[in-house]
């Protein structure tokens, strides 16, 4: 640091007035090289369809941007990629922190790429900034996959609401499919609302669980167990191996109480050890079976159509709500009315009606 | 019938032209008596607060009406009753058809009214017309309660969406509380979305379950088990008694997998026989314990405030949505765009944006 300082002083005229640091032509050209080329929509689409990962990455960045001009370009790229999409297996993976998700994704992912299948790993975690980017923020936690030519790892967009992030992830799936990825993992931490959202954009949903069946399972959020198509008891090795079998039986007993799925698929419980690479091919085989059943009875096709419908209505309702709650008059009035409501001096319905009258009068 | 006809003919001039049937002065006065008196808002409120069941019933009918003029009166009645509300125990009761809900409500209800407590039994079942009014449509299914002076049974409003019905039920709770009811049951069939809605308006939620732990439990909708504060295994008598104990253990094992509740209350599983009046006082005792814990840690107060907030936002979002989807232009355009979406020629987000542009341009 001191060296740098001295260097700078030596190169600039020491007149007492701050001077810009001198820069060489070489560093200028490097700067220009570094600045990403702006492609046209058609160039983006062509690049994506040809499987160009750099262009794919840049297109995803545009999708994730909240700038008006980027949003417009993003819309066009997505619409043009749409005809090339839909062929991948969309797999949701969730589980509480500490369940061994990264290790499983790495090992399971390698099992997939070793078959010369292309794998994209996406994540939904709108709180990643708060949780210090634990999820996919650090590619080093998937060392092998991150240097695998058949794999593409993309961290969760770090800005935006859950709804916003979800839309962007859903559009990223379209782009990845257009780029020829065969399998897409959508990862989420098993502690929040994001599981429901992921469930609405994947074909099959994996819930990773720890052995022990004790309090560590209590962290699993309401309803998540009932969304799972496949339960995977992780770390089933060493002294855990026997416990994993017991947990498996207990989970099997618990899911017995869940309602039958509409798809005809009966949720399955498996154990695995990512470290010892045991039970990994069995997970993949279960997923293949799942697809076989759901393709045969056309359930998968219908599920995806229903998901499309769901996301259209979600987007509409999101905008309707945000227009209302971001309205200047409503914002200030809401605070007063909510205070009245909390004091019990007004009913919920009347509070709502008062605000709505204000809003529609204004519009 | 023939006698009647002859009588009528004898009394009217048989001129070949249809004549109005002659009516006695007595029947006219009966007709006038039968026509319900229209009270002023203050008369309604006074009547309700004095526990006048007839006036309460009429006020609820006004709440349930969709006529603009009734809605206005309803709003005023509710706001004026609000200060007198909040003192009842609000108990949600659900379970699939056949679980013995009516029998339990009758027996459990009598247990409550026998302590000289006033009980109101409400129901939420927006599909009651479809299901031929199986739920509370027939008061005879609760013979004892329906003639009990301490009990008030009110069937579910038969018209309206789930959201609409829910708001009306929530306002009916306010009126019943103002009328001095100590305990309010809100009943729902355990097969739909209505459980979530009921869960948002009660303090404590009972799920009735059948013995057997087999396929009959599969009918319980996703997520309902996780909302329950108290599981009651019904019909635990005769040859069922032993099975009920096994089911109890299995449910206890299953709920072990559920996350801890925020309230500090640990969901409990009990067996009962409504027919043999066994386990009924135990249910009541559990509920009393529940209230003791939740009153002590102020959780109940917070829960109700949160519910008020929830219903305000629900009402707002309901109106925002219905204004949009009932908009004439949107209605016709939605059909076309949804068709495009189902054919995969447009993305969900773009579909949504196209509709929204149309809507806000118009407004």
Alpha-carbon distance of A173 to A162, in angstroms, equals 16
Is the Cβ pair A79, B346 closer than 8 Å?
yes
Cβ contact A205:A198 at 8 Å: yes
Alpha-carbon distance of A266 to A251, in angstroms, equals 13
List the single range of A131-135, A161-165, B110-114, B153-157 with lowest mean pLDDT: A131-135
Residue A133 to chain B, least CA–CA distance (Å): 25
Q: Write out pLDDT tens, residues A168-194.
A: 999 999 999 999 999 999 998 766 678
Q: What angle do CA A74, A76, A80 make, to 5 degrees?
A: 115
Residue A341, class by beta-carbon neighbours within 10 Å (0-12 exposed, 13-18 middle, 19+ buried)?
A: buried
Residue A204: enclosing H or E segment and its boundaries? Answer: strand A204-209
Q: Give A124-150 as a DSSP string.
A: E-TTTTTTTTTTTS-GGGGHHHHT-TT
Cβ contact A115:A127 at 8 Å: no
Name residues whose C-beta falls within 8 Å of residue B295's C-beta, 6 or more positions apart in sequence: B301
Q: Is B315 on the interface with A (CB under 8 A)?
A: yes
Q: What angle do CA B168, B169, B172 make, to 5 degrees?
A: 90
- Residue in B316, B323, B346 closest to A352 by CB: B316
User: Using 50, 70 and 90 to split pLDDT, how confident is the model at A6?
Assistant: very low
Residue B317: enclosing H or E segment and its boundaries? Answer: helix B299-325
pLDDT above 70 covers what percent of chain A? 80
Cβ contact B104:B208 at 8 Å: yes
The arithmetic mean of pLDDT across residues A146-166, rounded, is 84
Mean pLDDT score across all residues of chain A = 83
List the single range of A31-35, A67-71, A117-121, A339-343 with lowest mean pLDDT: A31-35
User: Using 50, 70 and 90 to split pLDDT, how confident is the model at A30?
Assistant: low
Q: Write out pLDDT tens, residues B16-40.
A: 444 444 445 555 445 444 556 689 9
CB pairs under 8 A between A and B: 176
Strand partners, A233: A209, A271
* A85-297, CATH topology level: Rossmann fold (3.40.50)
Res. A1: pLDDT tops 50: no
User: Using 50, 70 and 90 to split pLDDT, how confident is the model at B263?
Assistant: confident
Residue B254, class by beta-carbon neighbours within 10 Å (0-12 exposed, 13-18 middle, 19+ buried)?
A: buried
Q: Is A331 on the interface with B (CB under 8 A)?
A: no
Q: Is B345 on the interface with A (CB under 8 A)?
A: yes
Q: Is B171 on the interface with A (CB under 8 A)?
A: yes
Whole-angstrom CA distances from B20 to A139, B5, B26, B29, B285 are: 89, 13, 17, 18, 62
Enumerate the residues of chain B whose CB falls inside 8 A of the CB of residue A218: 258-260
- Residue in A308, A324, A348 closest to B348 by CB: A308
Residue A292 to chain B, least CA–CA distance (Å): 22
Cβ contact B290:B303 at 8 Å: no
Q: Is B24 on the interface with A (CB under 8 A)?
A: no
Is the Cβ pair A254, B253 closer than 8 Å?
yes
Q: Which of A320, A324, A361 has the highest number of chain B CBs within 10 A, making it the mutation to test binding with B?
A: A320
pLDDT at B219: 53
Enumerate the residues of chain A whose CB falls inside 8 A of the CB of residue B316: 324, 352, 355-356
Q: Is A338 on the interface with B (CB under 8 A)?
A: yes
Res. A106: pLDDT tops 80: yes
Q: Write out pLDDT tens, residues A324-354.
A: 999 999 999 999 999 999 998 899 989 999 9
Q: Is A360 on the interface with B (CB under 8 A)?
A: yes
Q: Is B140 on the interface with A (CB under 8 A)?
A: no
Phi and psi torsions of B185, nearest 5°: -90, 135
DSSP A293: H
Query: Taking the mean position of all CA atoms in its chain, how far away is CA A99?
Result: 18
Cβ contact B210:B218 at 8 Å: no
**Which residue ranges make up each domain of chain B?**
36-84, 85-297, 312-362
Enumerate the residues of chain B whose CB falls inside 8 A of the CB of residue A303: none
The arithmetic mean of pLDDT across residues A59-83, rounded, is 92
Strand partners, B290: none
Residue B25 to chain A, least CA–CA distance (Å): 45
Q: Which of B298, B349, B350 has the highest number of chain A CBs within 10 A, making it the mutation to test binding with A?
A: B349
pLDDT at B76: 95
Is the Cβ pair B347, A79 closer than 8 Å?
yes
Q: Is B361 on the interface with A (CB under 8 A)?
A: no
Residue A4: enclosing H or E segment and its boundaries? Answer: helix A2-11
Cβ contact B156:B172 at 8 Å: no
Grouping H, G, I as helix, E, B as strand and the rest as coil, residue A94 is: strand
Question: Is the four-CA dihedral A207, A208, A212, A217 of positive or negative sign?
Answer: negative
Is the Cβ pair B308, A342 closer than 8 Å?
yes
DSSP A121: E
- Residue in B258, B316, B348 closest to A311 by CB: B348
Strands B119-124 and B151-153: parallel
Is the Cβ pair A257, B220 closer than 8 Å?
yes
Q: What angle do CA A187, A190, A192 make, to 5 degrees?
A: 110
Residue keyed to tokens 């997923």? A287
Residue A39 to chain B, least CA–CA distance (Å): 21
The helix/strand count (H/E) of chain B reads as 15, 7
- For residue A213, the chain B residue with the least C-alpha distance is B257
Q: Is B72 on the interface with A (CB under 8 A)?
A: no
Question: Is the four-CA dihedral B274, B276, B279, B280 of positive or negative sign?
Answer: positive
User: Using 50, 70 and 90 to split pLDDT, how confident is the model at A32?
Assistant: very low
Alpha-carbon distance of A19 to A227, in angstroms, equals 62
Q: Two tokens at B196?
A: 């979530």
Q: Is B331 on the interface with A (CB under 8 A)?
A: no
Enumerate the residues of chain B whose CB falls inside 8 A of the CB of residue A221: 259
Res. A361: pLDDT tops 50: yes
Res. B216: pLDDT tops 90: no
Q: Is A308 on the interface with B (CB under 8 A)?
A: yes
- Residue in B174, B313, B352 closest to A312 by CB: B352
Residue keyed to tokens 């600039």? A12
Give pTM, 2 decimals.
0.74
Name residues whose C-beta falls within 8 Å of residue B306's C-beta, 6 or more positions apart in sequence: none
Cβ contact A220:A247 at 8 Å: no
Q: Is A323 on the interface with B (CB under 8 A)?
A: yes
CATH 1.20.5.170 fits A36-84, yes or no: yes
Q: Is B170 on the interface with A (CB under 8 A)?
A: yes
B341-355 as b/e: b if 16+ CB within 10 A: beeeebbbbbbbbbb
């Amino acid at each position: 640091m001191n060296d740098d300082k001295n260097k700078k002083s030596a190169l600039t005229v020491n007149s007492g007035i701050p001077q810009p640091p001198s820069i060489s032509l070489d560093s200028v050209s490097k700067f220009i090289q570094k600045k990403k080329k702006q492609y046209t929509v058609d160039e983006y689409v062509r690049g994506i369809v040809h499987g160009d990962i750099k262009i794919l990455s840049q297109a995803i960045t545009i999708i994730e941007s909240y700038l008006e001009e980027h949003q417009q370009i993003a819309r066009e790229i997505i619409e043009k990629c749409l005809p090339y999409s839909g062929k991948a297996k969309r797999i949701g993976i969730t589980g509480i922190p500490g369940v061994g998700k990264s290790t499983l994704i790495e090992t399971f992912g390698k099992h997939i790429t070793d078959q010369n299948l292309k794998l994209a790993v996406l994540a939904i975690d709108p709180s990643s900034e708060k949780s210090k980017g634990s999820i996919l923020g650090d590619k080093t936690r998937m060392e092998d996959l991150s240097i695998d030519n058949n794999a593409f790892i993309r961290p969760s967009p770090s800005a935006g609401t859950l709804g916003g992030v979800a839309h962007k992830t859903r559009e990223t799936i379209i782009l990845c499919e257009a780029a020829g990825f065969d399998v897409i993992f959508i990862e989420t931490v098993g502690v929040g609302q994001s599981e429901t959202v992921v469930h609405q954009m994947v074909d099959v949903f994996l819930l990773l669980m720890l052995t022990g069946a004790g309090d560590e399972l209590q962290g699993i959020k309401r309803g998540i167990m009932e969304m799972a198509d496949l339960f995977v008891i992780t770390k089933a090795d060493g002294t855990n191996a026997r416990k994993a079998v017991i947990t498996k039986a207990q989970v099997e007993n618990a899911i017995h109480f869940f309602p039958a799925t509409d798809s005809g698929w009966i949720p399955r419980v498996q154990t695995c050890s990512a470290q010892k690479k045991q039970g990994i091919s069995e997970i993949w085989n279960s997923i293949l079976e799942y697809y076989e059943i759901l393709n045969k009875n056309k359930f998968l096709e219908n599920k995806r159509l229903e998901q499309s419908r769901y996301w259209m209505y979600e987007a509409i309702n999101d905008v309707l709500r945000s227009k209302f709650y971001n309205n200047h008059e409503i914002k200030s009035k809401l605070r007063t009315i909510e205070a009245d409501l909390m004091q019990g001096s007004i009913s919920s319905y009347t509070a709502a009606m008062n605000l709505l009258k204000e809003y529609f009068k204004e519009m």
